[in-house]
Structure formats: structure tokens, C-alpha cells
Chains A and B, each alone.
Chain A
Amino acid sequence: QAVVTQEPSLTVSPGGTVTLTCGSSTGAVTSGHYPYWFQQKPGQAPRTLIYDTSNKHSWTPARFSGSLLGGKAALTLSGAQPEDEAEYYCLLSYSGARPDVVFGGGTKLTVL
């Protein structure tokens, strides 16, 4: 099974910009991996922020954006707010006869 890698932790200043990445042990991440991004705050369920690389849900703040960057999926937060401090997980889909999906290990984002 593929391994999906994320930065264990990142720190951003309030109002600053930070990019979280999501890589795959099988090679470059492409749109065909249909990258997803989830936000999870302590004691809460995950919330889906981005699907299929760059699409936002109605509840996704405009300051979050998804893209492909340097062979990885990327989640960029522009204008960080204190409430953005959370764990962020990515999810990649691999071709196969079943939902062959793998979550990344998560990035703990601190806004400080």
C-alpha cells in the first residue's frame, strides 16, 4: 500500500500564509489522485475542506485553496486566523477495483 506523507507540524503567524503538502510514495501526485483535504480540531470530527485537488465546499473559508505543487498536492492558507489552528489531513485515491484511498499522517498547524 502506498504511503502518503505530510509535514508533521507547521507554524504560521496570524495573517500569514502557509502551504501544507501531501506527497505519495508511488511518485508525483496528480489530479488523478483526486486529492482531498480535511480539517480536524481537537475533540471534533473531521471536516472536508477541499475535494478533487482544488474544489471547495460551501463551508470552506475563501482563505483556503488547493492545488498541485512540485509533484505534491498542496493546501494553502492565506491570511491565517487563530481558528485555523488544527490538524489537517490529506487523502489520495489510487487506481484499483475498490476505494483504494490512503490518508496522510496529518499536519499539526499552529497559528502563533
Chain B
Amino acid sequence: AQKITQTQPGMFVQEKEAVTLDCTYDTSDPSYGLFWYKQPSSGEMIFLIYQGSYDQQNATEGRYSLNFQKARKSANLVISASQLGDSAMYFCAMRGQPGFQKLVFGTGTRLLVSP
């Protein structure tokens, strides 16, 4: 069974600074995928970034990057140059072996960006 742990219920950052949101995972599957989603106050879940377990390089998407440390089973999200619009809930999720398409989610981290 897969498990995702997000230990930071809330994080604060000033505008234009970088912030790291922590995520650790547990799985016995050799092949898996890790995801980050953003949920603004409006409620929609926005897919941000994906990292595959066999990917050699850390994933990046614009201001988002995923610090993937396989041996430590961590997949931290780094947001560079924070903006006020980054204030939201952030969820880490994973999927195990191909063919089992459900995602397992963590409990989320609420990020507040201040001016």
C-alpha cells in the first residue's frame, strides 16, 4: 500500500521568496509516479508537476520544481519567486504500479504568501 506524508499543515512565505513544501512517501512498488496539486480557495484541483520513479532528472514546470530524493523517499515541491496567487492548499500524491490508476493523497499544506 502507498502512503503520503505531509508534515507541514501551514507555511508562510514572503512574496518573491522561494518556499519548499515537504512530502515523503512509502511504497514497495518499483515503478511509481509522484504528483503535486494546488487547490486555491475556489476549490478546483490544479495539477502542477509530475515525477516518475525512474526519471533521472528532477521535474520542473516554470516556477515549480520537484526535489526528488529516491533513497530518502521524498518528493518536495519548490516554488521559486512566490506570488500572492500561490496562496493555496498544496497536495502531494502518488500512484503505484501502472494499471492501478488511483492516486493516494497526503493531508495537504496550506501556503500563505504575504506581500
A and B associate in one complex: no
- Residues of chain B touching chain A, judged by Cβ–Cβ distance below 8 Å, are none
